[in-house]
Structure 1
Amino acid sequence: MEKGEVILLFDGRCGFCTRAIRWLKRWDRWDRIRPVPFQRPGAPEHYGLTREACEQAVWAITPNGARHRGASAILVAVGAALGCPWLQTLYRLPVFRPIADALYEWVAAHRGRLPGVRPYCEEHPEECT
């Protein structure tokens, strides 16, 4: 992954997702992650995505325009924040990928029941539709 800003489209109405974004930004020593709630008007379309795709999973868009969904997106974002691009290489391993994908899908399906904070869109209603 090349150096630069990674856009992270997340669910701004999700308290767990907002908490995860805050954690990630605390670890983002090089300010490489730019979280964007997918509820921001025009945000999904700007990055070539649909609202429906963003409702299903988090998305990371790298500086070269590559789009990553779900577990791959998390590993791209965490790798960028921590300066560990090898995390994306780890994801490509046949043994690791199905485990990471299954874990991500479980978390995504249960995110409304997981501990969180006040959702981003409640704190910044002017940014969300």
Structure 2
Amino acid sequence: MRGTLLFDGRCGFCTRSRDLLARVDRHHRVETVPYQHPGTPDRYGLTEQQLARAVWWIDEAGTPRASAAEAANYALSAALGTTLPLRFYRLPGIRWLQEALYRWVSNNRQRLPGTTPWCEREPGTCG
């Protein structure tokens, strides 16, 4: 499984999470793109509001497949080369729990520890 994870490149916590994903992705199965990259919303048929609310998993065909915790599980599954994270996510009750936790993190991400946001670190990659 391969794909693209769209993330908030102006968020230090999001960039830190992206960097962690890149470290476990030893076979380079996951491309990461800040949603602020010019043309990204139009390319995938998503709105800026959808992209600002949650990460998105784009499958190999370029189709938006999932958002929020489910997207994170797709990305982790691809990075690790196993479907275990996705299978765990789909267990009864786990989806609800992970989505609730994702919403809390998303709403508080500016208060969580991060790093230099991608858009500051990689000038010219964000609009």
TM-score class, shorter: over 0.9
Secondary structure of 1:126's partner?
coil
Q: Deviations over 1:58-100 (max 9, x none)?
A: 0011114352100000000001101121322222222111000
Question: Structure 1 residue 59 and structure 2 residue 56: aligned?
Answer: yes
Paired positions, count: 126
Tell me the equivalent position of 1:97: 95
Misfit runs of 4+, over 3 Å: none
1:47 to 44, 51, 62: 44
| Counterpart AA for 1:101 | E
- 2:78 aligns to what? 80
- Determine the C-alpha separation between the residues in 1 that align with 2:54 and 2:126: 18
Distance 1:45 1:91 in 2: 29
User: In 2, distance between residues paired with 1:116 and 1:66?
Assistant: 26
Moved more, 67-76 or 39-48: 39-48
What residue is the counterpart of 1:29 in the other structure?
26
Q: In the alignment, is the contact (CA less than 8 A) between 2:56 and 2:64 conserved in 1?
A: no
Runs of 5+ in structure 1 lacking a partner?
Answer: none
Taking the aligned partners of 1:13 and 1:107, their CA distance within structure 2 comes to: 15
Are the aligned partners of 2:44 and 2:64 in contact in 1 as well (CA < 8 Å)? Answer: no
TM-score, normalised by the number of residues in structure 1: 0.92
Shift of 1:30: 1.2
TM-score of the pair, normalised by structure 2: 0.93
CA distance in structure 2 between the aligned counterparts of 1:124 and 1:29, rounded to whole angstroms:
21
Structure 2: gaps spanning 5 or more residues: none
Q: For 1:56 and 1:88, locate their aligned partners in 2 and report how far apart those are by CA, in whole Å.
A: 21
